[in-house]
Structure 1
């Protein structure tokens, strides 16, 4: 197994990616510049702000997203390193 991606971390990432809204949020953030404000994400989905915050927290907790406070707002961006670890792990299943 990829030394950067232990079994517990992999399990948590897979669980976080198992929700379709989280995948859509990741796609939205990826398409929008470097940092994306929480308010922009909330406005783009037909979900309560608390639900969006919950999904974003799950993604931050498993390092798929990075967050940064800016006043009372929080902004998010994709954690390229964590995704690279995940992709590297998945590559081990490819046949040569």
Structure 2
């Protein structure tokens, strides 16, 4: 299997998966429990991606101090309901300053 075959198969699979979401009957999505899961699933997936980016480097765990400190500051700012731009700048500034100090 060539790389392009794999890329095209992935594109087709993603399209089919997206199309399947539109074909789900309204009676199924109308149930409160299903609707709650559908609404919270993207948030859970995004949170998982953020955590993986915070503690992983390639295929290995990397408990990098500045990166984790920036993640913690960003999580704290999010918990305190700071605006998105403040969260990003605070996390980036924390990581940058700790990297600068640790050199």
Bigger relative contact order (CA 8 A; separation at least 6): 1
Query: How high is the TM-score relative to the length of structure 2?
Result: 0.25
**TM-score, normalised by the number of residues in structure 1:** 0.26
Please identify which structure carries the higher strand content: 1
Query: Whose helix proportion is higher, 1 or 2?
Result: 2
